[in-house]
Structure 1
Amino acid sequence: MQDLNTFYDWMLRSAIKTKSTARHYKSGLSACSKDFIEWRLIDKPLTEMSLSELEVAIQKASLSSLFNEKNDRGNNMYSNSLKQYRNFLADNGALLCDSSYEQFIGETRNQTEREAIIRSRIGQGLFRRKLFEKYEGRCVVTGINDKRLLLASHVRPWSVSTNEQRLSSENGLLLSPLYDRLFDVGLIIFDDDGRIICSTELDNQNIDLLNIDRNRRYELKTTAEFINNLRYHQKIIFLGGK
């Protein structure tokens, strides 16, 4: 269980928010938790959830007209509060606890497939091999081809993906650790043409230090399925662009 004050302190320390913004997001998260329970989207407070459970809750909220209307009136404060809390949980190691993963594994009867799925979940199996084949063993941004420096990144998170999406190369990117982190916490995303869009929360000094070329088109080998997963990441995870 997480404490709202710990979340507030994390925003000041790690997310580099002002006290005013941190208070808004803290109250926004508290309001979301109460509303989601009232709307029967969840059955326990958001602060009692693991990261995977939170991601499922956020997905349900994104489909709720009640939430979307309130979020629009609040100029996206509530969706931004949820995004910040997601990053807080990830930053503090509150990863899959892991009801969705365990259920998926339990429903898979073929032992060989079960083992492949387990390996793929930790980035060593089928999903990783598919991405290496798709992107010819190179980070889609830097071109790095040292296997030790490459991560198989899901575009739509594991916990809110279907069984097929969890292992599909159309739901993944092969990235070096730095770009994997930028993508995972919503500081960058790609447009349909493969250009990088930076979050408003990433300042120009750090964009320059990261050598992010926002005019270059990276070869993502996109399909309609990939774009659909990218849309989810943009709406639910990305922290707003410029």
Structure 2
Amino acid sequence: MDILKEFENWLITTKKKKNGNTMSKSSAYKYARAVHTISEEILKIRAIDDSLFNISSISELEREIKCIKENNDFNIKNDTGRNMYSVALEYYLDFMRNRLLQYLN
């Protein structure tokens, strides 16, 4: 399974909304696509060195996400998307942390 699909499935099975319900498949797909879109767009302007999906180190991923969040192009897109992109990045970071913990256990 590719990491994007794994992330999407993790969102569906793990993330809960404020009302306690699980995330819909549609919402999970949108968040996964948001991370993919941001990774590709920021990579094109060379604000990061590699696709977020190729980074396995949590500390490196945290640095790259911080760099993305400081990028003006990202902030414009994120504001337009009502913070969906920054939330998607935080979800992805949570997913990768969880994935690492499972690997270590």
Fold similarity call, TM over 0.5: yes
CA distance in 2, matches of 1:3, 1:62: 22
Question: How many residues of Structure 1 are paired with residues of Structure 2 in the alignment?
Answer: 93
Match of 1:29 in 2: 35
Match of 2:14 in 1: 14
* Amino acid of the structure 1 residue aligned with 2:10: W
CA distance in 1, matches of 2:61, 2:28: 19
Q: What percent of counterpart residues are identical? A: 33
TM-aligned CA deviation for residue 37 of structure 1: 0.5
Q: Which runs of 5+ in 2 are unaligned?
A: 16-21
Q: Secondary structure at the match of 1:40?
A: coil
Q: How does 1:1-242 map to 2 (within 5 A)?
A: 3-15=3-15, 16-49=22-55, 50-93=57-100
Task: Say which one has the larger Rg.
Answer: 1
CA distance in 2, matches of 1:66, 1:30: 16
CA distance in 1, matches of 2:91, 2:41: 18
TM-aligned CA deviation for residue 28 of structure 1: 0.1
Q: Which runs of 5+ in 1 are unaligned?
A: 95-242
> Deviation string for 1:56-109 (max 9, x for gaps)?
011111211111001001111111110000000011117xxxxxxxxxxxxxxx
CA distance in 2, matches of 1:53, 1:70: 23
RMSD: 1.3
CA distance in 2, matches of 1:58, 1:45: 11
Q: Secondary structure at the match of 2:46?
A: coil
Compute the TM-score of the two structures, normalised by the length of structure 2. Answer: 0.82
CA distance in 1, matches of 2:30, 2:90: 13
Q: Which structure ranks higher in relative contact order (CA pairs < 8 Å, sequence separation ≥ 6)?
A: 2
